[in-house]
Amino acid sequence: DHFKGEPMRHPALIRRADKPFNGETPPSLLTEKFHTPNDVFYVRNHLPVPQVDAKTYRLEIDGINLTETTFSLQDIKKFPKVSISATIQCGGNRRTEMGKDKVVAGLGWTGGAIGNAKWTGARLVDVLRSAGFKPEAYKHAKQLHVKFDGLDTDQSGECYGASVPLSYLLDGNFDAILAYEMNDKPIPIDHGFPVRIVLPGIVGARSVKWLSRVSISEEESQSPWQQRDYKVFSPSVSLETVDFSAAPPIMDTPVTSYICSHNNGDKVKKGPVKLQGYAFSGGGRGIVRVEISLDKGKTWNVARISDTANLESTKNWSWVLWEANVNIQANAEIWVKAVDSGYNQQPEDFNNIWNYRGLLSTAYHKIYLEAR
């Protein structure tokens, strides 16, 4: 059994798969704290969890214009210690909603495949610099990629892998963190102990856990999660017709919002009701506004949103939590939508963003409440 060494999981996590383990946070827990507690943070594993000994752990760095260098955990801890607050969201978050009218393939997540944490560690560029990384050296280089390998492997020995364009690391306002702490504790086993890369604002799939290697390369990661999964195709494309080379891998994610305090179909007492939820946009774009409608978009109420804690970053890598008091006198459909700092808004429904893998499922969140 490749899964016999798996860690214990908090009973509150809603299991979506056992081997490999996948569990989402009950949405109602997400709005309790700005930083999601480690033990209930959603877990998205594609392979058995690797057993890593912090004492023998090594990170390899190599690739174009770099001197091949090996770092122990202690070596990584010697670099300036920085903390950022960042949301990690699976590309499949809210997939169940997209699959309601037309079936989609993938794990059936509701709105809990997302979490926000304080991530502490070394800046990736600081560690790369000690391996000879000079941003100027890449100015005129053609499009290059930073590849990340995990220590988790499939039966044939292939590891989990991902990559992002090198241009992210050349942007002085991007905060790629080799994180060894999550919410001021060593990173839990399920979240990548002892070191994961945190690539804020980018789809969760690129934030590789149990990180073993970072390489600067002319090609993208060739892993199936880079080349096939976590790409979004036209609504008319199916698994039978898909040309995987026709779309780039998802990087920055679009604006989304979610109602966490109530489930579709809940019964509420007539009168004031407090709605709570989250809103998030990728790319470091903050949330300008969250709006609620009780009349299918004829009128909108602006929700109160939490302050974000950027810590040592310049961009908004974190979600906002929002709340709104509404007065419910009759059965009502509640809609929520958010506006990000690029004035991007969510689509009203899933019709024209449907894709066969159910990715980037970001239409307005709509729930029906029964008044009693």
Tell me which residues touch Mo ion (CB under 5 A): 44, 90, 204-205
Closest by CA position to 319, among listed 95, 117, 92: 117
Query: Is residue 204 at the binding interface for ligand MTE, with CB under 6 A as the rule?
Result: yes
Q: Which does 369 bind (CB under 5 to 8 A by kind): Mo ion, ligand MTE, none?
A: none
Binding residue for ligand MTE (CB under 6 A) from 41, 180, 350, 356? 41
Q: What, of Mo ion, ligand MTE, none, does residue 43 touch, CB below 5 to 8 Å by kind?
A: ligand MTE
In the bound state with ligand MTE, the residue whose beta carbon lies nearer, of 97 and 152, is 152
Q: Which does 281 bind (CB under 5 to 8 A by kind): Mo ion, ligand MTE, none?
A: none
Locate 283 and state its tokens. 């790319």
CA distance 285 to 221: 26
Smallest distance from ligand MTE to CB 163, Å = 12
Short-list 63, 57, 255, 261, CA closest to 144 = 63
Answer for which of 207, 221, 346, 355 binds ligand MTE (CB under 6 A) is 207
- Strand-pairing partners, residue 215, are 62, 147
- Binding ligand MTE by CB under 6 A: which of 94, 123, 147, 209? 209
What is the DSSP code (8-state) at residue 345?
B
Closest separation in Å from C-beta 159 to ligand MTE: 7
Distance CA 336, CA 88 (A): 21
Residue showing the smallest CB distance to ligand MTE in the complex: 150
Asked whether the beta carbons of 14 and 22 are under 8 A apart, the reply is no
- Applying the rule CB under 6 A, the residues between 65 and 104 that interact with ligand MTE are 88, 90
State the sign of the Cα–Cα–Cα–Cα dihedral 137, 138, 139, 140.
Answer: positive
CB of 111 to ligand MTE, least distance (A): 14
Q: Which residue has the tokens 């990173």?
A: 187
- Three-state secondary structure call for residue 364: coil
**What does 46 bind: ligand MTE, Mo ion, none (CB cut-off 5 to 8 Å by kind)?**
ligand MTE
| Residue whose tokens read 């391996």 | 131
Query: How far is residue 292's CA from residue 227's CA, in Å, rounded to a whole number?
Result: 37
Options 44, 94, 123, 262; binder of ligand MTE; rule CB under 6 A: 44
209 binds, among ligand MTE, Mo ion, none (CB under 5 to 8 A by kind): ligand MTE
> Is residue 35 part of the contact set for ligand MTE (CB under 6 A)?
no
For residue 278, CA distances in Å to 4, 312, 320, 349 come to 35, 22, 6, 18
Per the omega criterion (within 30 degrees of 0), is the bond before 186 cis? no
Specify the DSSP class assigned to residue 226.
H
| Least spacing, CB of residue 257 vs ligand MTE, in Å | 19
Both tokens of 287, joined, read 């949330």
Which residue carries 């383990």 as its tokens? 21
CA distance 196 to 150: 9
Closest approach, Cβ 331 to ligand MTE, in A, equals 36
Give yes or no for residue 189 binding ligand MTE (CB under 6 A): no
Residues in region 252-291 near ligand MTE by CB under 6 A = none
Interface pick for ligand MTE out of 57, 109, 168, 210 (rule CB under 6 A): 210
CB of 229 to Mo ion, least distance (A): 8
Determine the Cα–Cα distance for residues 116 and 320; give it in Å rounded to an integer. Answer: 9
Q: Specify the 3-state DSSP secondary structure of 281.
A: coil
| Least gap, CB of 154 to Mo ion (angstroms) | 16
Binding mask 149-188 for ligand MTE (x = CB under 6 A): -x-x-------x----------------------------
Q: Which residue stretch of 202-210, 254-262, 270-278, 350-358 sits at the interface with ligand MTE (rule: CB under 6 A)?
A: 202-210
Per CB under 6 A, does 191 bind ligand MTE? yes
Residues 6+ apart with CB under 8 A from 263: 367
Interstrand relation of 256-259 and 271-280 (parallel, antiparallel or unpaired): antiparallel
Output 165 or 224, the one with its CB closest to ligand MTE: 224
Question: What residues make contact with ligand MTE under the rule CB under 6 A?
Answer: 41-47, 88, 90, 150, 152, 160, 191, 204-205, 207-210
